[in-house]
A and B are shown apart, each in its own frame.
Chain A
Amino acid sequence: MISHLSILSAVVDGHDDELRSFIASRSVEHSPFASVPGTHNGRFTVVRTDPLSRTDPPSLRSGGLPHPMLMCSAVIDTPPAEWLGDLLRVLGPDADRIWSHCAGWPGPESAVPWLLQQRVKPWLTFATWKADVTRMKGALELREQIERFAVSTQGLAAADLLTRFRSTFRK
């Protein structure tokens, strides 16, 4: 069951630059989300500016978000509590380095309930395909394999085709 998980936390005033630099320093190749099972995608967004509409004149800015915010959101296949537990495990001490910049952070020990408290429920979600990530990745690999097989076995006699199929797919 795919779900959209969004955790919104208030960043302590003045900490947004440091937080942003820390998160941005982690390259996509070393993304923590890569090691959390059941993750389709994940993102951190540090909303640094106070006003929401950057083109607004300052007099109109009072209705914006009151503080810098950190949004951690992901599309996941596992229950949110389980996924957050996995994320915190993968992040290790980095979890503290991220959320310690946020108001009310209780520390890693009771982080999951705190993060769940910060959850923002989506009003509408949309997914073009509703398959779990394991199946999606498997299907993508399989299709590529089939494509290569189809190209390379064009015109083969039936027996040769069967032999090649067995050796390729071990079906």
Chain B
Amino acid sequence: MIRALRKLIQRPVSEGVFPGDIQGNILQGYNLAVSAPLFVRFGSPSEARTLLDEVLPLVTSARRWNAKPTSTLNIAFTHIGLAALAVPADVLDSFPKAFRDGMRARASLLGDVGRSDPQHWDVGLGTGEAHALFEIQAVDDAELDRAVTNLRQRLTHLGATIVSAQRGARLPDRKEHFGFVDGVGQPAMQGTDDARRGQGQLDVFHQWLGLPIGEIFHGHVDADGHSSPGPSEPFTLNGTFLVWRKLYEDAAAFRSWTAGQAAQLDMDEELLRAKLVGRWSDGSPLALTPDRPDPATANDRDRVNAFDYSDDPDGLRCPLGAHIRRANPRLGLGFDDELSVRQRIIRRGMTYGEALAAGAADDGADRGIFFAAYMADIERQYEFIQAHWCNDGDGVNVGHDPDPFVGSALEGRKFTIPGSPPKFASPLAQTVVTKGGEYLWVPSMQSLALLASATISPLSTRPGHTKIPRKRMKSVRPTIRRTLSSSTRTSPTERVAGTLLGVVLAPVAFTISAIRSAAAVHPYGTVYDAELEVHPDGPALLDNTVLGSPGSYPATIRLSRGFALPRRTDDVHGLAVSIPDAGGPGRRQDFLMATVKTKASGKEASLRTDRYETLFSSLLRLATPQGAVVIRAVSVQPMPPDADVERGQAAGLAYDITATSPGGGPSTVARLTLGNALSDEAGAAPSFNVEHDGGGITTLGTLNVARKIVYRASHRGRAARHRKG
């Protein structure tokens, strides 16, 4: 119950994406036929920047296509590569340690030992020579050749060299070289995919929701309700990490090993292979179709991933040690999805090499998979999966059984096939070998442009941006962070959760207001006449709202203490603004904001203060038609003491009204100037209410739904008291 409540309070439930600013092939795969990952070493920093500047228009973003392009280009950088671009040292140091170290240095953690040891890796991979990955994908070989030739010319011209040129091609039916359909189980992302059972994260009502964008991209709300930490300014937003690995698949050894084991265990070879993977070769999951492959399930997007192992705790259908189950245990580890939701990655791999003909002996050809996975945190996500779930079985409750494909040190180990009695496939054979790889950072389109520009400086030094220290960002409480979610609608789950919360709190509000004969919260306040001057040229986010429509608006404001506690006692100090004709005659807009205390440390932390501070924030989620917005009022002059405010002596006080989009810096959009205090009679007239959204700014989310119910209960309580009185 407590866990459920915590989820209700902490979990963000909606999050938007910014397709124009993120690179393509991440949220949605290109599904193109061929690829050419080119690992590039730059010339001088200025040549490198010129190169980036030249290819920038060719880079494919995540914008929706009108028509599928014939080729795409995406760019990612190693840490050494960023240094080669003369990125300042403090920015370089802000990248997480795993990325700074690089894949080769993490080999023992990743289990890259023996045949997978970096000393055996392909030339140019993981050696520190590669500065960047330029990956071209294309519809066919001819288009790929054309695009690669074009790029090679630019590279050569600008002093760059290719240290490793790879070539990938999809096998028919999306299969990899062992014969299995690959890339089936991807996380459902909020704002992009429909969440199906087992694919995203569980909410409080055990419904599956999309995974928050912050699990993949930096600067967005993650599954714990925090802003996912990435590199420092100016690269805080919309970047992601790419783990790229070249994995050789020894198809002949795999076939021979499974044939031998199947005979030894007296079981069907196709079933044994499915048990090792967790899916049949056509992609249908053992969790749903344990006895035979089911093409109907395999081809049904709604079913092929609709399982969570909660009904198969002992692995009788899908073994606990099966590859797909240990790489994504869903609910199989207990504690709902708490132990697995932070380890989701998006995979966009592609096979390379010719398929080995059925029944053929090993031909010595190089074939396998370019494993490519995107995530916000290499250490927490990919490395954790590889080290704790694949190399060792302790974390997934299979003792020391490694993953039969990508696990480490397989010799002498076994794979347990649960049953009555169980069967043990042993000894395991190494059929997948790491041939190289890199940890790469995939910048946002804006960051890419910045890397291509002459100088890279923090955003704070450029006009129009306010730098928020990372420490301060981290300290912002969940209520504030949730406002950074960019969804423009309240989801059904939020509505239900908010209603439940509201129903719980409503009797309390009713009782308090009936006893007080005043509203349960902000019962007393001082109301002032005011004028709102909306500046021209506001951000596009505010289009079609009162704050995006320049002009002068008469307004009424109220300054009040939330619980009407005695002066100098910590309380929530509120600023309510009501604009009667915000959206035209009679179309009223109200904002409710509360004081945010800024500590000496610079942290914006406490919502309860002992006096009016200079900063008020809308706190709970607001949205314009274009996206989520946080409205803040910043007092231009120091705030007078509470007593003066309440005596009506705050006339002339002015506030700058700012609007902040998710992840963006604040823009000052209006000036609010206080006039005279209104008399008690006049002041009682406006009843501030966030349901008034005639100015195009609406409230969103669980807490706002609950707030509305609580407000209504409070009004009813007061009315009941008045009737009685």
Are chains A and B touching directly in their complex (CB below 8 angstroms)?
yes
With an 8 A cutoff between CB atoms, is B424 at the interface?
yes
Interface residues of A in 137-158 (CB under 8 A from B): 147, 150-151, 154-155
Q: Please give the distance in Å from B29's CB to the nearest CB on chain A.
A: 40
Residues facing A in B399-419 (CB within 8 A) are: 399, 414
Q: Is the CB of B424 within 8 A of A151?
A: yes
Q: Bound state CA distance, A100 and B87, in angstroms?
A: 54
**Chain A contacts for B414, CB-based, 8 A:** 147, 151
CA distance A155 to B425 in the complex (A): 12
B424 and A150 contact, CB distance less than 8 A: yes
Label chain A's interface by main secondary structure: helix
> Interface residues of B, CB < 8 Å — how many?
8
Q: Is B423 interfacial (CB-CB < 8 Å)?
A: yes
Contacts of B265 in A (CB 8 A): 154-155
CA distance A105 to B294 in the complex (A): 76
Interface-central residue, A150, A151, A155, by most chain B CB under 10 Å:
A151
Q: How far is the CB of B195 from chain A (nearest CB, A)?
A: 35
- Give the CA-CA distance A155 to B422 in the complex, in Å: 11
A155 to B262, CA, bound (A): 12
- B426 close to A (CB within 8 Å): yes
* Distance A151 CA – B265 CA, assembled complex (angstroms): 10
Q: How far is the CA of A150 from the CA of B264 in the complex (A)?
A: 14
Q: Kindly provide the distance from the CB of A2 to the nearest chain B CB, expressed in whole angstroms.
A: 22
B266 contacts chain A at the CB level, 8 A cutoff = yes
CB-CB under 8 A from B426, the residues of chain A are: 151
B26 CB to nearest chain A CB (Å):
38
Cα distance A97–B265 when bound, in Å? 60
In the docked arrangement, what's the CA distance between A155 and B424, Å?
11
Hey, what's the 0/1 contact readout for B660-696 against A, CB within 8 Å counting as 1? 0000000000000000000000000000000000000
Q: When each residue 246-275 of chain B gets 1 if its CB lies under 8 Å from chain A and 0 otherwise, what string results?
A: 000000000000000000111000000000
- A124 and B15 CA atoms in complex are apart in Å by 43
Chain A residues with Cβ below 8 Å from B424 are 150-151, 154
B395 → chain A closest CB, angstroms: 16
Give the shortest distance, in Å, between A141 (CB) and chain B (any CB).
14
**Smallest CB-CB separation from A143: which chain B residue?**
B399
When chains A and B are docked, how far (Å) is the Cα of A154 from the Cα of B266? 10
A155 to B423, CA, bound (A): 10
Closest CB in chain A relative to B261 CB, distance in Å: 11
Beta-carbon contacts under 8 Å, A117-171 to B? 147, 150-151, 154-155
Distance from A105 Cβ to chain B, minimum over Cβ atoms (Å)? 42
- Distance between Cα atoms of A19 and B715 in the complex (Å): 71
A58 to B265 alpha-carbon distance, docked (Å):
69
Tell me, in angstroms, the Cα distance from A147 to B264 when the chains sit together: 17
What residues of A have a CB within 8 angstroms of the CB of B423 in the complex? Answer: 154
B262 CB to closest chain A CB (Å) equals: 13
Distance (whole angstroms) from the CB of B131 to the closest CB of chain A: 37
How many angstroms from the CA of A147 to the CA of B265 in the assembled complex?
Answer: 16
Q: Which residues of A contact B266 (CB under 8 A)?
A: 155
Q: Report B-chain residues with C-beta under 8 Å of the C-beta of A155.
A: 264-266
Chain B residues with CB under 8 A of A151: 414, 424, 426
Q: In the complex, what distance in Å separates the CA atom of A154 from the CA atom of B424? A: 8
How far is the CB of A19 from the nearest CB of chain B, in Å? 32
Query: Which B residues have a C-beta under 8 Å from some C-beta of A?
Result: 264-266, 399, 414, 423-424, 426
With A154-B265, A154-B423, A155-B265 given, can you name 9 additional A-B contacts, CB distance below 8 Å? Answer: A147-B399, A147-B414, A150-B424, A151-B414, A151-B424, A151-B426, A154-B264, A155-B264, A155-B266
Q: Which positions in A face B, CB cutoff 8 Å?
A: 147, 150-151, 154-155
8 contacts between A and B (CB under 8 A): A151-B414, A151-B424, A154-B264, A154-B265, A154-B424, A155-B264, A155-B265, A155-B266
Closest 4 CB pairs of A and B: A151-B424, A151-B426, A151-B414, A154-B424
